[in-house]
Structure 1
Amino acid sequence: MTNDFLKNKKFIFDRWASSYDWLLPSVFYQAVHKRLLEYVDLPERANILDLGCGTGRLLERLANEFPYLRATGLDLSSKMLQVARLSNRHHPRLIFIEGKAEALPFGDGQFEAVFNSISFLHYQEPKLVLQELARVLSPGGRFYLVDITTKKEKEPQTLSISHQGIKFYSPQQREILGAAAGLSCLHHYYLLGPVLLTVFAKP
C-alpha cells in the first residue's frame, strides 16, 4: 500500500468532515446504525473499538445504548476526529484518536468488540486489517463488519471512483478473509438493501 493512497483518502475525508453529518450519508448511516444495534451483544463493561469511526456517530449511539461501555474511535482523518471530539457527550468514556487500520496502536487482546461500518470497502490490504483486528480482540471477542456486499463470489467487486478504488465483498469472501485471520463467522444479517452485517468471533 502506498503512502499516496492513504494521503488521498485522508484528503477526501478531511474535506468532507465539516459537512459530513449534514449530508445524505448521515441519514443513511442513522438507519444502518439503528438496525445494527438490534444485533449487538456486549458485556456490560465492554471496552470497544470503532475502526473508521468518522464523526463518531456510531459510538455515540452505542454509548447511549450501553451506559457502562468504554470506547475508542480511530480514523485516518484528523478533521473527522475534530468533529467527533467537539460533539463527544460521553468523554472520557469515549475517546478519539488518529491512526491507520493496517497498524493499530493498541495492545493485544485490548477490546471485547470491534466495529467497522461502511469503511472496509476502502482498505487496500484487507487481510492485514483483519489480522490487526484479530490481534487487538480479546478471546471470545466479536467483530461487527458492516458494509455493502456483492453477489460476485470469486473475487471482490471493484468500483473505481476517479483514482480511488473501493471493493465490495460477498458473504463467502468475508468468511474466507476472516478465517485467514483466525476469526469465525457467526452470522450474516442484511440491514438495509445491500448493506450486510457479518458477525465474527475470536476463539
Structure 2
Amino acid sequence: MTNNFHQQKENFFNLWAPYYDCLLTTGFYQAIHQRLLEYVELKENASVLDLGCGTGKLMSRLAAEFPTVRAIGLDLSPEMLREARVRNQYRKRLIFVSGRAESLSFADEQFDAVFCTMSFLHYPHPQQVFHQVSRVLAPCGRFYLVDGYRGENNFSSFIPWIGEMRLYNQQQREQLGTEAGFSAIAHYYLLPGILLTVFATRTEQS
C-alpha cells in the first residue's frame, strides 16, 4: 500500500513538474520563502538538506542569502529533480538527489539544518520523517517545518489523482518532535494558513 501511495505521488508530481514554476505557484512560494528566511540562522559553511525540494527554488534562495552554504535537495519525483538541475545556478554548492524522506540515505549528524516546505502534508509516515531528520541533524541544528495549518482541528483530504494529504496543528507538530527528540522552540505564521515551526535538538536544550 505504501509503495502504491508513493507511486501515486511520484506520478502526480512528474506530471506537474514542467508547469510547477508557473506565475501563480512562483508568487506563492516566493512569498513563503521570503518570510521563512527572516527566521533562518545558518552558520558559516553550513550543510543543509531540503526535503521535498521540488524545482529547487528554496535552495536557490538559501544559496543567494548565505554564500557559503552547501545544500542537498531530495525529492521523490525524477521530473522535479530534472527541472531543478536545469535551473541550478549554484552547481558547486547545490546538488539534487532522488529519495524518500522516510528513509534518508545520509550519514548521522550530517546536516546543520533541515528544511521541509509545503511537502510534509504528503508524507504517509510523519513520525518516520521526524526520526530520520533527528538522525541526520547535527547537535545544535535546526529543523524548519513549513506547511499548511487549519487551526486546532485535525484535517485530512483525499484527492484521487494526488492521494491523501494531512495537515498538523501546533500541538501535533510538537508531539511528533518530542517523540523524535526535538523541542519546538517557535511557531511563526508566514502567510494566512501557512505555519513555520522551528525545532531544535534536545542536546541543545539540555
Q: Same fold (TM over 0.5)?
A: yes
Counterparts of 1:108 and 1:144, CA distance in 2: 18
Flag as ranges the 4+ runs of structure 1 deviating above 2 A: none
- 2:120 counterpart residue number: 120
- 1:45 counterpart residue number: 45
TM-score by length of 2: 0.95
Deviates more, 1:158-167 or 1:94-103: 158-167
Counterparts of 1:66 and 1:141, CA distance in 2: 16
CA RMSD of aligned residues (A): 1.0
What are the residue-to-residue correspondences of 1:80-99 with 2, within 5 Å?
A: 80-99=80-99
Q: Flag structure 2 segments of 5+ consecutive residues without an equivalent.
A: none
Counterparts of 2:40 and 2:117, CA distance in 1: 13
- 2:158 counterpart residue number: 160
SS of 2:197's equivalent in the other structure is strand
Q: Does 1:134 find its partner at 2:134? A: yes
- 1:192 counterpart residue number: 191
Identity %: 54
* Residue 49 to residue 191, structure 1, CA distance change in 2 (3 Å): same
Pairs aligned (count) = 201
Q: CA deviation at 1:23?
A: 4.8
SS of 1:21's equivalent in the other structure is coil
SS of 1:184's equivalent in the other structure is strand
Q: CA deviation at 1:151?
A: 1.6
* Residue 23 to residue 5, structure 1, CA distance change in 2 (3 Å): farther
Counterparts of 1:145 and 1:23, CA distance in 2: 24
What are the residue-to-residue correspondences of 1:20-59 with 2, within 5 Å?
A: 20-59=20-59
Give the letter for the 1:190 counterpart.
Y
SS of 2:131's equivalent in the other structure is helix
Counterparts of 1:132 and 1:13, CA distance in 2: 23
Q: CA deviation at 1:159?
A: 1.4
SS of 2:55's equivalent in the other structure is coil
Counterparts of 1:16 and 1:23, CA distance in 2: 14
| Deviation per residue, 1:150-186 (Å, 9 max, x gap) | 2235xx3101212611001101110001100001101
Give the letter for the 2:191 counterpart.
L
| Deviation per residue, 1:7-64 (Å, 9 max, x gap) | 0000000001111111522211110000000000010110000000000000000000
TM-score by length of 1: 0.96
